[in-house]
A and B are shown apart, each in its own frame.
Chain A
Amino acid sequence: MIRLDGVRKTRGQGAQRYSLEIDRLHLAAGERVALVGPSGCGKSTLLDLLALVLAPDAAQGFALGGEDVAGLWRARQLDRLASWRSRHLGYVLQAGGLLGFLDVRGNIRLPRQLLGLGDDGSVERLAEALDVHDQLGKKPATLSIGQRQRVSCARALAHGPALLLADEPTASLDPVNADRVMQLLLREAEACQVTCVVATHDEALAHKAGLTVLRMACRRDTDGGVTASLERAA
């Protein structure tokens, strides 16, 4: 499902430089991993690369579901990247990333509408499974953070993506709620055979959820810049 070889991404220069180097990351379809590491070690940058919203500076190989992502970026085929993202990707953002002008139902339904998929009851089913079914008519601003996160999970899964990315989905939650949201998300992802990459700083939670842990680390280089990498390749 995911094949990254020699992927590089750098931001800034000199002491402000931040580089992410992924020598090898191969994940099979249905595999579920956690990117674990301290803040600033490149978890979100790696997720953005996988979400096709950030272009790599260099890549010996970068493929998602058989699609040559590196080639699409080189050819600047942004519409095909957006189309692939829309069709195959679900992304749970740290703060939910919900659209305030839509109600919960509208937020969950939107990825399906964008793909022209009809109403097959998956919105209600996911809302039920993630325990937000009684919030469907409400605007995100009236929800608690935990509820928003669960709505975000439902939205990420509504169109049946092949790849689910989650960026600190439980960071804003208390431990009880964090555990609950993670369990609900992964249960649904497993039910749909979705490949999962979850970024979290909570290694214990990742272990408890049964995720394969991939540690990310960073080092300070002689120029003062920072280079982040996957410590243990999958």
Chain B
Amino acid sequence: MRPLLIAGLAWQDFRNDARLSACAVLALVAVIAPLLVLFGLKFGLVGSLTERLQRDPGVREIIPLGGGRFRAEFIEELAQHPRVAFAIPRTRQIAATAELLLPAHGRGLTVEMLPTAEGDPLLAQVAPPDGLQQVVLSFTAAEKLGARAGDELQASFSRQQAGQMQWRRTRLQVSSVLPLAAFERDGLFASLQLLEAVEDYRDGRAVAALGWQGEEQGSASARVYPALRLYARELNDVEPLRQFFAERKLLVSTQAAQIAQVQSLSRNLDLVFWIIASLAVAGAVAAIAAGAVAAVERKQRELAVLRLLGFGTAALLLFVMLQALYSGLLAAAVAGLLYLLAEHGLNRLFMQVPGEFASHLLPMHYLVALCAVLLASTAAAALGGWRVARIEACQGIRDV
């Protein structure tokens, strides 16, 4: 058997029967192109929705509700949990505000203080503040203060003791400003130590690191936090973490329902796609097999001559299968082009957000589709082409 010679002969016969070959190719295109569009829509829509959820760290946030009592060790353990991306304690809300002033501009603003550290999903590419004197400002806070990275702010913290208002000021350097999408409120991201210092000051305790006077500190390990900032590593980790808290009788608020909705949509579209794909592939396999049977019948004389010239059964079967393979290859290429046109149109019609798609396929999807088409074509042709085994050289050679 000479595979290259057989491939060449099969191609010449395929070209010679151009009209019939075109019919076989178009029949396959009619199956493959809609499947590509359907899968492109499923992957594009669900992918965009999922990506949108993934992009927003808020969706992965788990917020404890009600007054909690969390110890530092528990939160540290939680931070090591494989499903957790970031966990840090929060001080009491009432002690987590600061009044900021940019002396150069004379503008003041009261902002929410949030503890942060390395790995904070809200900070993304921004480096966390270093030490007690550095902070990261939210976009709106920086805008209102007219502050930029590198500016020095004056922060004031007040407390009421024995009916008297007391103030302490400290200088904070703006290490970075967050993009608007990361945090849309007026906020200041600082190290946990700064927030603990402010909480201590407001509770009337002394803060040695900042030189603020007050009552002597108790044991640091005894500190109990009312809340924490907690982010799941992946969307799929949100629900297990909710269950983790539920098992400990801790009420939390999550976006699990929204995530489940997208995942349910993905599953349902998967089901619809596979049902349609199965029916279409079964139809295509039947059509290719029938085409192979018809081709063997139609080409019986030529196949008999090839057998007379020395072709064995395997060579004849390869001849028939290669022609189905050529149909599959051409059909996959044409269907791919048609899909690209459809994808372009669908994305123009339905998508306005850059980077999001109504219909989208990855190179891997094209490769898998091509392999599936070639496999189905070859298998179906082998199924229909087994009749070549019955062709004897003495049959039909008198007619050609």
A40-80 to B contact mask, C-beta < 8 Å, 1/0: 00001000100101100000000000000000000000110
Given known A100-B302, A101-B13, A113-B5, contact A95–B399 (CB-CB < 8 A): yes
Is B2 positioned at the interface, with any CB of A under 8 Å from its CB? yes
Is A99 positioned at the interface, with any CB of B under 8 Å from its CB? yes
Is B273 positioned at the interface, with any CB of A under 8 Å from its CB? no
- The answer, among A48, A82, A101, for a CB contact under 8 Å with B394, is A48
**What chain B residues lie within 8 Å of A44 (beta carbons)?**
398
B286-315 to A contact mask, C-beta < 8 Å, 1/0: 000000000000000010011111111100
Interface segment, one of A15-23, A83-91, A120-128 = A83-91
- The answer, among A82, A100, A116, for a CB contact under 8 Å with B16, is A100
**What chain B residues lie within 8 Å of A114 (beta carbons)?**
2, 5, 309-311
Given known A48-B394, A53-B394, contact A101–B308 (CB-CB < 8 A): no
- The answer, among A53, A85, A87, A116, for a CB contact under 8 Å with B392, is A53
A186-229 to B contact mask, C-beta < 8 Å, 1/0: 00000000000000000000000000000000000000000000
Is A102 positioned at the interface, with any CB of B under 8 Å from its CB? yes
Check if A51 sits within 8 Å of B2, measured CB to CB.
Answer: no
**What chain A residues lie within 8 Å of B305 (beta carbons)?**
93, 97-99
Is B280 positioned at the interface, with any CB of A under 8 Å from its CB? no
Is A111 positioned at the interface, with any CB of B under 8 Å from its CB? yes
Is B12 positioned at the interface, with any CB of A under 8 Å from its CB? yes
B59-91 to A contact mask, C-beta < 8 Å, 1/0: 000000000000000000000000000000000
**What chain B residues lie within 8 Å of A104 (beta carbons)?**
none
Check if A51 sits within 8 Å of B308, measured CB to CB.
Answer: yes
CB closest chain-A residue, reference B311:
A82
Is B190 positioned at the interface, with any CB of A under 8 Å from its CB? no
**What chain A residues lie within 8 Å of B312 (beta carbons)?**
78-79, 82
Given known A51-B308, A110-B309, A114-B5, contact A99–B302 (CB-CB < 8 A): yes
- The answer, among B309, B392, B397, for a CB contact under 8 Å with A86, is B309
Select the residue from B13, B307, B310 with max chain A CB neighbours within 10 A: B310
CB closest chain-B residue, reference A96:
B400
Check if A53 sits within 8 Å of B309, measured CB to CB.
Answer: no
- The answer, among A48, A79, A82, A101, for a CB contact under 8 Å with B302, is A101
Check if A82 sits within 8 Å of B399, measured CB to CB.
Answer: no
CB closest chain-B residue, reference A115:
B310
Could you tell me which residues of chain B, from 173 to 228, have a CB within 8 Å of some CB in chain A? none
Chain B interface residue number, banded: 20 to 34
A79 to B309, CA, bound (A): 12
Check if A95 sits within 8 Å of B309, measured CB to CB.
Answer: no
Could you tell me which residues of chain B, from 1 to 17, have a CB within 8 Å of some CB in chain A? 2, 5, 9, 12-13, 15-17
Check if B393 sits within 8 Å of A51, measured CB to CB.
Answer: yes
Is A94 positioned at the interface, with any CB of B under 8 Å from its CB? yes
**What chain A residues lie within 8 Å of B17 (beta carbons)?**
101
> Shortest beta-carbon distance, A51 to chain B, in Å?
7
Check if B13 sits within 8 Å of A85, measured CB to CB.
Answer: no
- The answer, among A82, A93, A94, A101, for a CB contact under 8 Å with B310, is A82
Check if A97 sits within 8 Å of B400, measured CB to CB.
Answer: yes
CB closest chain-B residue, reference A116:
B2
Given known A53-B392, A101-B302, A102-B12, contact A83–B397 (CB-CB < 8 A): no
A28 to B2, CA, bound (A): 33
Is A30 positioned at the interface, with any CB of B under 8 Å from its CB? no
> Shortest beta-carbon distance, B208 to chain A, in Å?
93
A87 to B15, CA, bound (A): 29
Check if B306 sits within 8 Å of A99, measured CB to CB.
Answer: yes
- The answer, among A95, A97, A100, A102, for a CB contact under 8 Å with B308, is A97
> Shortest beta-carbon distance, A176 to chain B, in Å?
25
Given known A82-B311, A113-B5, contact A98–B393 (CB-CB < 8 A): no
A101-112 to B contact mask, C-beta < 8 Å, 1/0: 110001000110
B264-293 to A contact mask, C-beta < 8 Å, 1/0: 000000000000000000000000000000
Check if A93 sits within 8 Å of B400, measured CB to CB.
Answer: yes
**What chain A residues lie within 8 Å of B310 (beta carbons)?**
82-83, 85-87, 111, 114
Given known A101-B12, A113-B5, contact A54–B309 (CB-CB < 8 A): no
**What chain B residues lie within 8 Å of A94 (beta carbons)?**
398
A85 to B304, CA, bound (A): 13
A116 to B400, CA, bound (A): 25
A82 to B309, CA, bound (A): 8
> Shortest beta-carbon distance, A56 to chain B, in Å?
13
Select the residue from A51, A53, A95, A96 with max chain B CB neighbours within 10 A: A53
Check if A93 sits within 8 Å of B13, measured CB to CB.
Answer: no
A142 to B309, CA, bound (A): 23
Please give the residue numbers on chain A whose beta carbons come within 8 Å of chain B beta carbons, in ascending order. 44, 48, 51, 53-54, 78-79, 82-83, 85-87, 91, 93-102, 106, 110-111, 113-114, 116, 139, 167
In addition to A91-B308, A95-B399, 13 A-B residue pairs with Cβ atoms within 8 Å of each other are A48-B394, A51-B394, A54-B394, A78-B313, A82-B310, A83-B310, A85-B308, A85-B309, A96-B400, A97-B308, A100-B16, A111-B310, A113-B2
Please give the residue numbers on chain B whose beta carbons come within 8 Å of chain A beta carbons, in ascending order. 2, 5, 9, 12-13, 15-17, 302, 305-313, 392-394, 397-400
Nearest first, the 3 closest Cβ-Cβ pairs linking A and B are A86-B310, A101-B16, A53-B393
25 contacts between A and B (CB under 8 A): A53-B307, A53-B397, A54-B392, A54-B394, A78-B312, A78-B313, A79-B312, A82-B311, A82-B312, A85-B308, A85-B393, A87-B310, A93-B305, A93-B398, A93-B400, A95-B398, A95-B400, A99-B302, A99-B306, A100-B16, A101-B302, A110-B9, A111-B309, A114-B309, A114-B310
